[in-house]
Amino acid sequence: MTEHTVLPYQTEALGPTHSRAEPSYAALLGPAWLNLPPPVQARFGSTAHAKQTRIYAGQVLATELSLAGAILAQLARLVGGPMPYTSSALGPSVVAVTRVCAFTPDGTGADVWTRSYARPGRFPQVIQSAKCFAGPTGLEERLGFGLVMRLNVNVDGPPGRADLVFTSAGYRLRIGRLDLPLPDALSPGHCEVRHRDEGDGAFTFTLTITHPRFGRLLRQVARYHDHPSPQGDTP
């Protein structure tokens, strides 16, 4: 197993003879982008779905929450509830990804992810976040109420069968012009999201959050299938 580590995305370092690369996963990953299976490249390509909402339907196969993880999930409801609340969050799930131009006050665009998880005897839990090409690592996830998770993006695995892996690189609280780092004691710890292509239009999504003191707080595994966009196939 090989891993490609991505350096911070800094357009300032480009020389005068170089043009600024358009923000995209391919630009962040460089040559490692080509190690991803073609379906993963299609799902995360910068322009293939620029005017579409991508829909993925599937099943949550496992949700494992420790006691500390369950407490954190409840506290996280103060910032929009970005974590599943209970280990019973199994069954049907739908993910919609919509490109929103000028999502942030400074005009930065974002991919807005909306995830719906079934809960027995209750309405589904809906989790929303937005991925923006911004910050020193080149990628941030806005979780709501000013909470921002900086992300590194890597490729892990052999060429043609590699996983796309997102890992946390620090948390910040951003409200208006206020932009403060979140102390480690108040952060959920290390977050990893792994996108693995399974072939035939299917892929798995594995989310793991591990705290340096309390250990693994959350592990969730879901399997989805590509679904035609409601707007059709024309960008």
The 3 state secondary structure assigned to 127-185 is EEEEEECCCCCCCEEEEECCEEEEEEEEEECCCCCCEEEEEEEEEEEEECCEEEECCHH
Any idea which of 77-86, 87-96, 171-180, 206-215 has the lowest mean pLDDT?
77-86
pLDDT at 105: 75
pLDDT at 167 over 60: yes
Q: Is 101 left (phi over 0), alpha (psi -120 to 50) or beta?
A: beta
Predicted structure pTM score: 0.85
With beta carbons less than 8 A apart as the criterion, state whether 218 and 233 touch. Answer: no
pLDDT at 228: 62
pLDDT at 202 over 90: yes
If DSSP codes are grouped into helix, strand and coil, which group holds residue 201? Answer: coil
Nearest CA to 65 out of 218, 192, 205 is that of 218
pLDDT at 43: 93
pLDDT in tens, 81-94: 888 888 878 899 99
Q: Mean pLDDT, to the nearest integer, of 55-71?
A: 95
Q: Mean pLDDT, to the nearest integer, of 185-203?
A: 93
pLDDT at 216 over 60: yes
Res. 18 pLDDT band, cuts 50 70 90 = very low
Please tell me the distance from the alpha carbon of residue 79 to that of residue 143, in angstroms, as a whole number: 7
With beta carbons less than 8 A apart as the criterion, state whether 181 and 62 touch. Answer: no
Q: Mean pLDDT, to the nearest integer, of 16-23?
A: 51
Please tell me the distance from the alpha carbon of residue 226 to that of residue 139, in angstroms, as a whole number: 24
β pairing state of 53-65 and 190-199? unpaired
Arithmetic mean of pLDDT over the chain: 84
pLDDT at 46: 66
Distance of CA 97 to the CA centre of its chain: 11
User: Considering the domain 20-227, what is its CATH architecture?
Assistant: Beta Barrel (2.40)
More confident residue, 195 or 5: 195
Q: CB neighbours of 179 closer than 8 A, spacing ≥ 6?
A: 172, 173
If DSSP codes are grouped into helix, strand and coil, which group holds residue 229? Answer: coil
Res. 12 pLDDT band, cuts 50 70 90 = very low
Domain assignments of the chain as residue spans, ordered by start: 20-227
More confident residue, 94 or 6: 94
pLDDT at 104: 78
Nearest CA to 66 out of 54, 80, 83 is that of 83
